[in-house]
């Protein structure tokens, strides 16, 4: 069955607090998708963002970012004395630092009321706390705060190598850890309610799991043996990709490399736990940088760029076999973009996983005529672009006059003549054979540079900051494509 999806980060949803939340806007957005026949809501990672506010450098693979917690829902639950003030209500960019500072006092007030009301005895809370990762994450965040935000490998030995002994934690650290656990409980409760509402509306949620984890994360701090680190907790090798379309010096991500020999001895428990938890949160799991299950770029940590490195084979078949065995029915899709050796696609196809096809990369205008250089096949997800690409209109507006003419002539040859150029390009994607057609909301509403989410190889503002003021344009434009979406 063909399905249409929309890529829309939670952070970009309209709100009264300057960042998307798991409150009214999430439910309204689901209603809008349902009304227009959209069957998949693709989001970006929800984990606590780390360096550069990137959701691909999070503090945890399981935890959710407190930024997304709805303060209005906390008020309705009786955990706040008064309705929260409005803050940056009409902001077109997310100011992460300012929003965190604004929300923190409300979140801490809610925690105090939760404790005072014996919320910690609630069976649902007790059940949530029974998960191994929760308290460990709470301690990690508490110790990070106690150490001025420094990376864990700069902490004193008792904290750097903490093994679960609560006696080494101060009273303040212990209280902060419990606050962090409360935050995770609220996030989980609010998110699962949103997911339930989406599922009941016939919409699946596609989550995004980065292949690597950040160095400054609870994953590495509490599981050092899973990674290639020196005795001081610093990476010996780091992840990235060699020079490519995006960068002449490659991308030096800085994530630690997995110790695959150790992971194998432990039956890939790290991956089973990580994907297993994501399987609770999402209906479909997109594995970012899937190619690293086949071969990964291994860069010596001493190298300032990603130019110096080597491709190393990974045990992808063993890992995915293990995931399928331990997590029956898990629905994985593969981000398989870029220059790949054939074995990557063989690995993907062996498990019948959907890969990705990008319109911006598919339409070649270099010859006499524009042509689609990709294969129009069914078991694939066809995107106009992703969070790492220019928006559709940004791409088109950047073409030469001749290239634009070739694109229009190409579409005409496909029988697509009606509407403006955005309509015609979206029609081409929606009429493809691809089982899933997923379009970023910025492309649905025709945004240019202002809707660009991230530029690979760059860090910080304006990456990850796109934010919508309201749904007016989204509702108007989606309604125009409703028939195309419904009749895929």
End-to-end CA distance of the chain: 9
Q: Angle 154-160-164 (CA atoms, 0-180°, nearest 5)?
A: 160
Strand order of the β-sheet with 436-440 is 332-334, 284-288, 204-210, 40-42, 3-7, 436-440, 380-383, 355-358
Q: Which fold has domain 3-101+196-487?
A: TIM Barrel (3.20.20)
* pLDDT, position 243: 86
| Region of 238 on the Ramachandran plot (φ > 0 left; ψ -120 to 50 alpha; else beta) | beta
* pLDDT, position 220: 98
* pLDDT, position 462: 95
- 65, 176, 204, 288: the catalytic one is 288
CA nearest neighbour of 140 among 152, 132, 150, 156 = 152
Interatomic CA distance for residues 94 and 259, integer angstroms: 36
Token pair 């809501």 in the structure block, residue: 41
* pLDDT, position 247: 82
Q: Is 349 a catalytic residue?
A: no
Token pair 């059940």 in the structure block, residue: 127
* pLDDT, position 458: 87
Q: Are 416 and 428 in contact (CB under 8 A)?
A: yes
* pLDDT, position 375: 82
Q: Is 335 a catalytic residue?
A: yes
Q: 284-339, pLDDT tens digit by residue? A: 999 999 999 999 999 999 999 999 999 999 999 999 999 999 999 999 999 999 88
Q: Report in angstroms the alpha-carbon separations of 44 from 15, 49, 313.
A: 18, 11, 27
- 388, 443, 465, 477: the catalytic one is 388
- 65, 95, 208, 335: the catalytic one is 335
Interatomic CA distance for residues 54 and 48, integer angstroms: 9
Q: Are 258 and 223 in contact (CB under 8 A)?
A: no
Query: Average pLDDT of each block of 10 consecutive residues along the chain (488 residues)?
Result: 96 97 98 98 95 90 97 98 95 97 98 96 96 97 96 95 93 97 98 98 97 95 97 95 83 94 98 98 97 97 94 98 98 93 97 97 94 91 96 98 97 95 98 97 97 91 96 97 94
Interatomic CA distance for residues 215 and 218, integer angstroms: 9
* pLDDT, position 244: 76
* pLDDT, position 339: 83
The size of the chain, in residues, is: 488
Q: Are 141 and 176 in contact (CB under 8 A)?
A: yes
pTM here?
0.96
Between strands 3-7 and 436-440, the pairing is parallel
* pLDDT, position 251: 87
Token pair 């960068």 in the structure block, residue: 247
Q: Give 322's Cβ-side CA count (13 Å radius).
A: 20
Domain ranges of the chain: 3-101+196-487
Q: Are 211 and 289 in contact (CB under 8 A)?
A: yes
Interatomic CA distance for residues 281 and 142, integer angstroms: 25
Structure tokens at 201: 């509306």
């Amino acid at each position: 069955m063909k399905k249409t999806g929309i890529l829309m980060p939670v952070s970009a949803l309209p709100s009264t607090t300057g960042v998307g939340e798991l409150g009214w806007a999430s439910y309204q957005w689901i209603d809008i998708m349902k009304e227009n026949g959209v069957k998949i809501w693709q989001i970006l990672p929800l984990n606590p963002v780390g360096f550069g506010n990137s959701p691909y450098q999070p503090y945890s693979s399981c935890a959710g970012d407190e930024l997304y917690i709805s303060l209005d829902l906390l008020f309705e639950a009786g955990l706040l004395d008064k309705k929260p003030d409005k803050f940056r209500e009409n902001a077109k960019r997310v100011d992460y630092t300012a929003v965190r500072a604004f929300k923190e006092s409300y979140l801490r007030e809610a925690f105090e009321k939760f404790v005072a009301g014996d919320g910690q005895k609630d069976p649902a809370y007790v059940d949530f706390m029974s998960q191994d990762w929760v308290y460990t994450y709470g301690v990690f965040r508490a110790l990070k705060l106690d150490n001025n935000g420094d990376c864990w490998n700069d902490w004193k030995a008792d904290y750097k190598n903490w093994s679960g002994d609560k006696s080494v934690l101060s009273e303040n650290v212990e209280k902060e850890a419990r606050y962090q656990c409360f935050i995770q409980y609220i996030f989980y409760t609010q998110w699962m309610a949103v997911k339930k509402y989406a599922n009941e509306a016939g919409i699946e949620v596609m989550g995004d799991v980065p292949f690597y984890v950040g160095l400054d994360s609870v994953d590495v701090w509490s599981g050092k043996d899973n990674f290639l680190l020196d005795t001081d907790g610093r990476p010996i090798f780091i992840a990235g990709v060699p020079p490519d379309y995006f960068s002449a010096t490659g991308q030096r991500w800085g994530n630690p490399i997995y110790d695959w020999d150790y992971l194998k001895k432990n039956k890939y428990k790290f991956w089973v736990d990580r994907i297993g938890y994501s399987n609770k949160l999402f209906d479909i799991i997109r594995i970012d940088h899937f190619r690293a299950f086949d071969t990964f770029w291994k860069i010596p940590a001493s190298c300032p760029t990603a130019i110096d490195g080597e491709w190393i084979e990974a045990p992808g078949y063993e890992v995915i076999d293990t995931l399928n065995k331990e997590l029956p029915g898990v629905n994985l899709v593969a981000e398989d973009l870029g220059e790949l050796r054939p074995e990557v696609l063989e690995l993907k196809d062996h498990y019948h996983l959907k890969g990705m096809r990008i319109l911006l990369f598919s339409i070649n205008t270099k010859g006499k005529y524009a042509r689609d250089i990709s294969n129009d096949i069914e078991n694939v997800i066809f995107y106009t672009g992703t969070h790492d690409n220019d928006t559709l209109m940004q791409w088109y507006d950047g073409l030469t006059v001749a290239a634009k003419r070739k694109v229009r002539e190409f579409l005409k040859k496909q029988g697509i003549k009606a509407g403006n150029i955005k309509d015609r390009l979206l029609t081409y994607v929606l009429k493809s054979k691809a089982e899933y057609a997923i379009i970023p909301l910025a492309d649905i509403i025709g945004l240019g540079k202002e809707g660009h989410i991230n530029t690979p190889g760059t860090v910080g503002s304006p990456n990850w900051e796109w934010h919508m003021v309201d749904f007016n344009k989204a509702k108007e434009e989606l309604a125009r494509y409703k028939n195309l979406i419904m009749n895929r």
